[in-house]
Amino acid sequence: MPRLWHLSAILQGGALVILAVIFDLDGTLVETEELKARSYARAAIELRPELNEAEIIEAFKDLIGLSRQEVAVGLMQRFGLEEAASARMAEFEVDTPWQVYVQVRQRIYQAMLDDPQLLRSQMYPHNIAYLQEVRQKGMRTALASMSYRPQVKRVLGILGLSDAFDFVASRDDVENGKPDPEIYFLVARQLSVPPQDCLVLEDSPAGVKAAMAAGMSVVAVSTPFTRQRLYESLLLPPQHIVGDPNEFPRVVEHIIAHHRHERQE
């Protein structure tokens, strides 16, 4: 943890070119990806009891960072949920099978979010400590999440981070989800910071693609749910991917130095 101050000093001093740090939420500040995976798996099993929870969770890993609809449709096609979901469309008063699946899953996921102790147990202390250090040094900060606003507010409140960002963007604020860069362009505009002067912390290939497409520098903070796919995606060089939380300061320091070198050329 002590090196975090030095890292913030790098951001503040000398040939500074990073003016804002943007964080993803799920899988970056808190391991809600695991909770989401379990909720999608349990919802699928409610529709088709013979399914295997571990297989659904594994399939979810390929969809991390995508929109709720894309995740639902992807899992429905993979595990043949269309017929069971279609049979309950009238019950949920919806027009499509994927909406049934989402509503069943939302009930399960909301119960998880209603458990503050469970959420706090999923926090990533290294990344939250970095957020706090960056703010103490006067950096601009923002959140760019593909979760919807009520869930974002709920999670930030429980984590004690409701006032930790200059701007919070959620799925409600954009037409296109990640990997489209729309949410990152929105954040840059709201912060009045050029995209090339923003550093992004992401955990999924879709999020990394979005930030890179916006022209921002990216650190991939991997989790057990995203680590393999981040390396296999070849989106970033390995030295830009954090596999061990203790390596986080070194990785970010390397990226900032690389960014500074590019701007000086």
Q: pLDDT per residue over 127-159, tens digit each?
A: 899 899 889 988 899 999 999 999 999 999 999
DSSP 8-state secondary structure symbol assigned to residue 177: -
Cis upstream peptide for 179 (omega within 30°): yes
CA-CA-CA-CA torsion for 146, 191, 196, 15, nearest 10 degrees?
A: -130
Q: For tokens 């960072």, name the residue.
A: 65
pLDDT band at 265, cuts 50/70/90? low
Q: pLDDT per residue over 78-88, tens digit each?
A: 999 999 999 99
Instruction: Report pLDDT for 223.
Output: 85
